[in-house]
Structure 1
Amino acid sequence: MSAPVRIGVLFGGPSAEHEVSCASALGVARALADAGHRVVAIGVTRTGGFRLVPDAVFAELRAGPGAGRAIDDRLTVTGPLVELRTGSRPGTAVVAAANAPGAVHAELDVVFPVLHGPYGEDGVVQGLLESLGVPYVGCGILASAVGMDKVAMKRALRAEGVPITPHVSFDGPTWRAVDDPEKLVLGLRRPLFVKPARMGSSIGISRVVEGDDLAAAVEEAFRHDTVVLVKQGVTGRELECGVLGGWRPEASAVGEVRVTGGWFDYRQKYLGDADPMTVPAPLPDEVTERIRDLSVRAFAAIGGWGLARVDFLYDEATGDLYVNELNTMPGFTAHSMYPKVWAAAGVSYREVVDRLVALALDRHAERPASVGLGGAR
């Protein structure tokens, strides 16, 4: 981008991924500020309220080392209560005092929702931003919802011929009506991965091998969602690829996650001392290109825009690749895979976020005048 813009960075939120979002947001806000943009940090409380982070607080954090572990180096939801409202000019939003809506703290040209999990990554906040008519970074309402819902995602991928692993899904009433949990997973071989349909950062996920309690794993998943997905595990390598772009998206280098204990859990992602990621992944060129091609195809299958991280399972014995899932707002911490795979492709962290802002403006400029409150104004 050439001209600096005023960008509202939304972070926090009521989901179980609140702390991860706070860490991602600091990295994004720093990079945007370093690129010359005016950054307004807006924290979302665990109950859904908005707080405007004081400029002095952000300035102090921005000046920090920026090399801490993911959840140690982060923004915090602090400051006066505010509201987001439609701006006085088309395509803008304003940050207004909650107790005095006429008192405007800042005007925003773009919103960057660095929100992981429910409320922020599932189409909810995207709907709010659409209603305000302000450009925003990342996937729209539908792609966000499909990307967040692993059951809907797999349906979309299967419809477009993208390879996925065998799986089943069921809701609470179906689960409670069955007399034997094994009846719901007939045809699936262990290990099984039991997970909430709409959650991220490995929260609520259990790996079930022979002798493990399937019912306990399902009950844990139901603590986080009303629909549970059970996938057949694949003995293979965990690989990840970034996608960036709009109508003609591009794929990054490919990274690999080296895990212990059978899968990449929350502790290894955010609390471990060792970096489990290898970028670029040591792979034959042919496999790398297949992954990059499938990443773009998977992104198109959900109607993606802006960015996503596509996660793969690679069975070296058979040569099979499976798309495990897409993450439409991947982690942006110093410890996250998405910035690393783009850095390996020659695109810096700052350039990634700058391009995402430009893509948000491009999408907004292309929308028909009859679409949304912003276009109708």
Structure 2
Amino acid sequence: MRIGIFFGGTSREREISFAGGRTVFDNLDKGLFQPVPVFVDSLGNFILLDWQYLYKGTIRDFYPPAAAYPPSRHAWQLYIENLGELTDEALNELISHVGRRVEASELPRLMDFAFLALHGPGGEDGAIQGLLEWVGIPYSGSGILPSALGIDKIAQKRLMQAVGLATPKFRVEDFNYQHAVDMLPDVVAELGLPLVVKAPRQGSSIGVSIVREANPQLFQEAADRALFVRHLYRADWEKLDESGQLAWVRQLADIREGIGMPVEVSFSRRRDGRWQDAQQVIAHPEELFDFIKWSFTELAAGATELQDELELSGVHSNDFTKTYPQQAHSYLTLQSLTGETQVLVEQFVAGREFSCIVVEDERGQPLALPPTEIIKGTEVFDYRAKYLPGLARKVTPIDLPEAD
């Protein structure tokens, strides 16, 4: 029986999925099953991967091939999306170095069953499940609807409310970062403190923060984390030497620790005596590094020009920063192109954490496996706590008194 192992994917959890696919490949009983490794790249292409690449440390160690990297003054590790727009011919050439591109219509000729080791959006949201049902391949895990509800925490909570299941109080905000100060009092009055601020459609608790004080800045930072937005102030950038600036860009471009790339950069520039808002989409970290330096030089020049004009009009330099703070303390806003548009804010629930896997038995009935307690050393059981050694441990079954 041929088992297609789908791993990698488009989500921020692609590296964990890559490692999980390798584990499935290694532990599949080769006497009964023939493994078919299908690597899903971060553009959503299916690649029948040459087996030796399964044993690379990370995706970026082999794909895209280093020979495809554009010239750069600094050493960067790239995902395929960092190369920008590629023609089909160029993409197929890159893929040919690691395997063979496979169209969805070809999948039934390659496998009898799909083992899904994909994580997050694109892997656990019903998308790949729907495609496999369309081409007639049975697969592991939940179906289309439960997958879609499982990834979308807003839809999930509204469904739970509708059927009378207990769930913490929550609010959904179409968050505009400029309104954090105005929004926070109403949110605290309704939900209390602490607040749990979430990215509503990510896996592995990515984009989750706990806000314990009615502090607009902390609330703003939590919302930015959930939306995959960063604000970079010129004063902060200029405090860094070049190695620090490069480290800042590397951290931002990391899909686990930062917001990933490509990003849309929103900035102001002075043209024809007026400040104009502008946006620029940037895919490569080297290009972003150069753009930040250029834009802050432009902003500084524009602020100087404005200050000169104002002094001619009678506004003195010591009044300038009070009167025109946005220009004087200029900043860039960077937002991931795969970010969120909403923020889920929940009431905090204190207590012991546990998870419980529910499977379908041979009669089609739900069967709950023994609950597992999660004992964590950090405040949030997030991506790092789940997958890095030593940050959390699990106890199965959870040790509870009979009365509980």
Give the count of matched residue pairs: 256
Unaligned runs of 5+ in 1: 62-70, 95-106, 288-377
Q: Report how far residue 19 of structure 1 moved.
A: 1.0
Deviation at 1:184, TM superposition (A): 4.0
Deviation, structure 1 residue 274: 5.3
Q: Determine the C-alpha separation between the residues in 2 that align with 1:137 and 1:37.
A: 15
SS at match of 1:136: coil
Indicate the residue corresponding to 2:249 in structure 1: none
Q: Please tell me whether the aligned partners of residues 255 and 279 of structure 1 are also in contact (alpha carbons under 8 angstroms).
A: yes
Cα–Cα, structure 1 residues 203 and 241, in superposed 2: closer, same or farther, change >3 Å? same
Match for residue 147 of structure 1?
150
The 4+ residue runs of structure 1 with deviation greater than 6 A are 75-78
Question: Which has the higher Rg, Structure 1 or Structure 2?
Answer: 2
Report which stretch shifted further, 266-275 or 202-211. 266-275
Q: Does 1:27 align with 2:15?
A: no
- Specify the alignment match of 1:14 in structure 2: 10
Q: 1:142 to 1:76 in 2, by over 3 A?
A: farther
In the TM superposition, what whole-angstrom CA distance separates every residue of 1:15-73 from its partner, at most 9, and x where no partner exists? Answer: 10111111222233333335721111111111212222224555x79xxxxxxxxx889
CA shift, 1:149, in A, is 0.2
Deviation at 1:108, TM superposition (A): 0.8
CA contact (8 A) 1:181 1:215 kept: no
Correspondence 1:242 to 2:357: yes
RMSD, matched Cα: 2.8
Cα distance, 1:171 vs. partner? 2.1
Q: Give 1:162's aligned residue.
A: 165
- SS of 1:82's partner is strand
Residues 1:228 and 2:343 aligned together: yes
Which of 114, 135, 138 is residue 135 of structure 1 equivalent to?
138
* 1:109 Cα offset (Å): 0.7
Query: In the alignment, which residue of structure 2 is the partner of 1:366?
Result: none
1:210 and 2:213 aligned? yes
1:219 aligns with 2:221: no
Shift of 1:284: 2.1
Matches within 5 A, 1:1-377: 5-33=1-29, 36-55=32-51, 79-86=98-105, 93-94=108-109, 107-172=110-175, 180-182=182-184, 183-210=186-213, 212=215, 213-223=218-228, 224-245=339-360, 247-273=364-390, 275-287=392-404
TM-score, normalised via structure 1 length: 0.61
Alpha-carbon distance in 2 for matches of 1:220, 1:275: 22
Q: Alpha carbons of 1:264 and 1:85: their partners in 2 closer, same or farther (altered >3 Å)? A: closer
Deviations for 1:97-138, whole angstroms, at most 9, x for unmatched residues? xxxxxxxxxx21111221111111111111211221211222
**Alpha-carbon distance in 1 for matches of 2:165, 2:221:** 31
TM-score, normalised with respect to structure 2: 0.57
Segments of structure 2 that go 5 or more residues without pairing to the other structure are 64-96, 229-338
- Deviation of the 1:10 alpha carbon: 0.5
Distance in 2 (CA, whole Å) between partners of 1:186 and 1:262 is 23
SS at match of 2:190: coil
Given that 2:354 and 2:371 are in contact with CA atoms closer than 8 Å, whether structure 1 keeps it comes out as: yes
- Judging changes above 3 Å, is the alpha-carbon distance between structure 1 residues 84 and 286 closer, same or farther for their aligned structure 2 residues? farther
Q: Quote the offset at 1:197 in angstroms.
A: 0.8
- What is the rounded CA distance, in whole Å, between the counterparts of 2:98 and 2:58 in structure 1? 20
| Contact kept? 2:193, 2:213, Cα under 8 Å | yes
> In 2 relative to 1, CA 146–275 (structure 1 residues): closer, same or farther, beyond 3 Å?
closer
Whole-Å Cα distance in 1 between the matches of residues 149 and 403 of structure 2? Answer: 29
1:286 Cα deviation from its structure 2 partner: 4.7
C-alpha deviation, 1:79, in angstroms: 2.5
Provide the C-alpha distance between the structure 2 equivalents of 1:82 and 1:72, rounded to a whole number of angstroms: 20
Q: Counterparts of 1:285 and 1:32 in 2: how far apart (Å)?
A: 38
State the match for 1:294 in structure 2. Answer: none
Classify the secondary structure of the residue corresponding to 1:11.
Answer: strand
Of stretches 274-283 and 214-223 in structure 1, the one that deviates more from structure 2 is: 274-283
CA distance in 2, matches of 1:148, 1:217: 20
